[in-house]
Amino acid sequence: MLPLNADGSDALGADGARILTFGGSLSRSVASTSATEITTLGAEITHEVAQPLAHPRWHANGVLLPDGSVLATGGGMWDNVYVHGQRSAPVMTAERFDPATSTWSAMADATVPRTYHSTAVLLPDGRVITGGHVPLPVPWKDARDNVPYESQIVETRLEIYEPPYLHWGARPHLADAPDAISYGTTFDVRVDQASTAPDVVDAVLVRAGATTHAWDNSQRLIELDVVDSDGGNYTFTAPSDGDVAAPGTYLLFVRGVDSQGRGLIPSVAEIVMLG
C-alpha cells in the first residue's frame, strides 16, 4: 500500500488508498514479468497499468522506504516453483518506484543473489537489510527429500542497501519521542537540529517489517503533518484508527527536504507502539 495520510486518504490526493503490484509471474507462466499495476480503492476499485520494471523479477521483495518510495530488490528471471527446482537466473539490480511520478529508477546492484526464501526489511536507520536465498534443489520431490540439508544451497550472508537519501548530507535528528501513541491524539517530539540539517517538514510512521516468502502484508506508511512547532519541539496528530494503521510496532521518522531538491531526508527512527 502506498503512503496514506493520518485520516486514511491517499497521501498524493488520489480518490482512495492505492496498492502497488509488480513483478512475479503471470498465471501458469514460467517467465517472470515486469508488469506494474496500481489499484485504487476508491468509490469504485480501479486498476491502472504503470511503468514496468526494467528487470522482470519473480519472488522479489518490495520495501516501503521512509521517503515514501518503494524498493524492489532481488528476484529471479524464472518461476522455479512452477518449473520445480530449475535454476532461476537472479536479478541483481535494485529499482525504486516513485509514487509521485509512477516511474521506476535503477538503483545499486546487489552482490548476493536473492530469489526463493529471501527477505528484505527496513531498518530504523533508513537502510534495508536483505538476506536468505535457498533455491529449490531438484525438481523431483522424492529425490529432494533425500538430499541432506547440509548439501543444499543455504545462503547465510546478509547485505545492506543504502538508499540515496543517506548520501545527501546531514539528517534531522529525532532526539525524543513517546514510547506509545494513541489513535486520534496529538503527540510531541523533540528534534536536535544541526545547522546543516534540513528543517523538519513532517513525520512518518512506518510499520515494523515482518517478511516471509516475498510478502510483508502489514507494510504501511502514514504521513503526519506538523500541527505545531516551537524551536525543536514538534506536535503531530496520530492516525485516526486501526483501519488506517493496525495496532502494533512502528518506526517513527521525522523528515526534511533536501536542499538540492532531490527528495525527503528521514531521520533515524524511534520505535513506538501505536494503539
What is the reported pLDDT for 214? 78
DSSP three-state, residue 203? strand
Q: What is the pTM of this model?
A: 0.92
Nearest to 180 by CA among 255, 98, 46, 275: 275
Contacts of 161 (CB under 8 A, 6+ apart): 71, 73, 94, 107, 108, 110, 120, 127, 128, 129, 130
What is the reported pLDDT for 133? 84
- With pLDDT > 70 as the criterion, what percentage of the chain qualifies? 91
Q: Which domains does the chain have, with CATH numbers?
A: 4-165 (2.130.10.80), 168-274 (2.60.40.10)
Q: For residue 73, what is its C-alpha cell?
A: 530488490
Q: Which residues pair with 97 in a beta bridge?
A: 70, 104
Q: Can you tell me the distance from the alpha carbon of 47 to that of 208, in angstroms, rounded to the nearest whole number? A: 28
Nearest to 21 by CA among 40, 4, 7: 40
Sheet of 159-161, strand order: 118-122, 128-132, 159-161
What is the reported pLDDT for 218? 87
What is the reported pLDDT for 64? 97
What is the reported pLDDT for 152? 58
What is the reported pLDDT for 38? 97
Q: What is the CA radius of gyration of the chain?
A: 20
Helices (DSSP H) in the chain: which residue ranges?
Answer: 141-145
**Do 63 and 71 form a contact (C-beta atoms < 8 A)?**
yes
**pLDDT under 50 in the chain at which residues?**
none
What is the reported pLDDT for 150? 55
Range 101-109, long-range pairs (CB < 8 A, 24+ positions): 102/38, 102/50, 102/51, 103/50, 103/51, 104/36, 104/51, 104/52, 104/53, 104/54, 104/72, 106/54, 107/71, 107/161, 107/163, 107/164, 108/161, 108/162
From the number of C-beta atoms within 10 Å of its C-beta (0-12, 13-18, 19+), residue 9 rates as middle
Quick: pLDDT tens for 66-89.
999 999 999 999 887 776 666 678
